[in-house]
Chain A
Amino acid sequence: MDDHSPLKRTPLHALHVSLGARMVPFAGYDMPVQYPAGVMKEHLHTRGAAGLFDVSHMGQIILRPKSGKIEDAALALEKLVPVDVLGLGENRQRYGLFTNDQGGILDDLMIANRGDHLFLVVNAACKDADFAHLQDHLGATCDLALLDDRALIALQGPRAECVLAELWADIATMRFMDVAEAALHDVPCIISRSGYTGEDGFEISIPAASAEDVTRRILEHPDVLPIGLGARDSLRLEAGLCLYGNDIDTGTTPVEAALEWAMQKARRAGGAREGGFPGAPIILGQFAEGAGRRRVGLKPDGKAPVRGGAMLYADAQGHTQAGVVTSGGFGPSVDHPVAMGYVAAPYIANGTQLFAEVRGKYLPVTVSSLPFITPTYKR
């Protein structure tokens, strides 16, 4: 990206500024990293009540089959993702990955079946490349649109359902990964019961012109606080979720990233539509035989946070390399530092002691299962 190009603004930019947010550049957007409450309180409030996030910088893409048959869009998209899209029911959503011919990950995304079209949400930094990639491969079968007239907010936490139920009573009937259309304050919205914090919650796509009004009204609820990117990062890290560009990228495969769960049976070896996505021979090979390294949770034994980029060693002297930390920081809900990273196959077992190089010292860390918190998804 051109560092000199002006930062883009989401439809909620003025709201963030009026709430006293500290704004930072993120993926080409001027985004709130924290509000006056601060990262710690914002994090804990999300897990204790409800936090509202502006994720409008992410890309919202519609894939509409030219034939009118949703199956045609699903099968076309399956050529780019190792995901069972055909088996995704109407108004259901699932997590997915765009892969490349080397088995690397181009982006991670959400895929929803909206009956007559597919609705995708992709990462902000990748959205233009993703859209071009989709047009190249799906342009013949689908009409594509990268929506620039909709905001996207997330309301996450144990009070999220109650807060939204005051606006739309039927919200309680939604299960994790359900998608529905409903009017909130008379504005037609697309709601999914999902998010990226490990908490029960919702993501809400709102027409841009009404986004600030709807968001302000939700923020008026005493249980809701606005949450910035700082707490979004610590929440997703505690939940063991990958940040694209840190924990997954074109140099990591879905198997190395421990994302096998995102590849349903139909696309695996012996499945009804085995392979047929970029990098399938490599990814299915690793599926059968394991990869040379794997993403694991890492719990520093001491109080010092271990950050992304720290090298991992098998010994306290830093002689034998074992891997690298990709995300790390302090987990406010577990009240302890937490991290994740890639370690070589001999070191992936939970309980394995490794050493992270931090400011010239080798700090003990223990390979730990992810997530660090217990997710509260309403399945």
Chain B
Amino acid sequence: MLKFTDEHEWLKIEGDVATVGITAHAAEQLGDLVFVELPEAGTSLDKGATAATVESVKAASDVYCPLDGEIIESNQAIVDDPSLVNSDPQGAGWFFKLKLADPSAANALLDEAAYKELIA
């Protein structure tokens, strides 16, 4: 199941684990990323809490936790090479895997059609 937030994150949900990243639209708006800071595995985060920070040449931006849960893995590849987020935002440029406290809460997020309408 693929879901989106109005903060321009995507979630690929398999069982009770969501792989989270930022959308192509967000990556394009941010521009070339030069730095990514990710949460450590084991961190519990509430929905809306700052989960990661990305920096472009010009500015720093926060990436928010889309749902309540616990970080079980972060993508070291984008820390080593932040440009992966720009080149493949919805693939190799994923940010972290989140074990959802309540998987049914994902139903309230945007589906792809609703997200496309949001950024249109």
Contacts and interface: CB of A to CB of B under 8 A. Distances in A.
Interface string B44-64: 000000000101111110000
Interface SS of chain A: helix, strand, loop or mixed? mixed
Contact of A34 (B31, B35, B37, B55): B31
Interface in A325-373: 329-330, 332, 337, 359
B32 interface: yes
Interface in B50-109: 53, 55-60
B57 A234 contact: yes
B34 interface: yes
B57 A230 contact: yes
A318 interface: no
A294 B34 CA distance: 29
Nearest to B34: A330
A230 B59 CA distance: 10
Contact of A303 (B35, B56, B57): B35
Q: Report the contact-size class of chain A (Cβ under 8 Å from the partner).
A: 20 to 34
Contacts of A299: none
B15 to A, nearest CB: 32
Interface in B8-32: 31-32
A39 B31 CA distance: 7
Given A305-B34, A305-B35, A40 B57 contact: yes
A139 interface: no
Contacts of B35: 303-305, 330, 337
Contacts of A332: 57
B89 to A, nearest CB: 14
B37 A39 contact: no
Nearest to B36: A303
A39 B55 contact: no
Interface residues of B, number: 12
A43 interface: yes
B57 A39 contact: yes
A134 B56 CA distance: 40
B32 A305 contact: no
A307 interface: yes
Contact of B31 (A40, A233, A307): A40
A41 B32 CA distance: 9
Interface string A24-67: 00000000011000111101000000000000000000000000
Nearest to B32: A40
Given A304-B37, A305-B34, A330-B35, A39 B56 contact: yes
Nearest to B56: A39
A34 B56 CA distance: 13
B57 A329 contact: yes
B34 A38 contact: no
Contacts of A337: 34-35
Contacts of A230: 31, 57-58
A38 B57 CA distance: 10
A300 to B, nearest CB: 10
A234 B34 CA distance: 13
Given A304-B55, A330-B55, A39 B32 contact: yes
A34 B58 CA distance: 11
Interface of A: 33-34, 38-41, 43, 230-231, 233-234, 303-305, 307, 329-330, 332, 337, 359
| Pairs A-B, 7 closest by C-beta atoms | A40-B32, A330-B34, A39-B57, A330-B57, A230-B58, A305-B55, A38-B31
Interface of B: 31-32, 34-35, 37, 53, 55-60
23 contacts: A33-B58, A39-B31, A39-B32, A39-B56, A39-B57, A39-B58, A40-B31, A40-B32, A230-B31, A230-B58, A231-B57, A234-B57, A303-B35, A304-B55, A305-B55, A305-B60, A307-B60, A329-B58, A330-B35, A330-B56, A337-B35, A359-B37, A359-B53
Given A39-B32, A231-B57, A305-B55, 14 more contacts: A33-B58, A39-B56, A39-B58, A40-B31, A40-B34, A41-B32, A43-B57, A303-B34, A304-B35, A305-B34, A329-B58, A337-B35, A359-B37, A359-B53
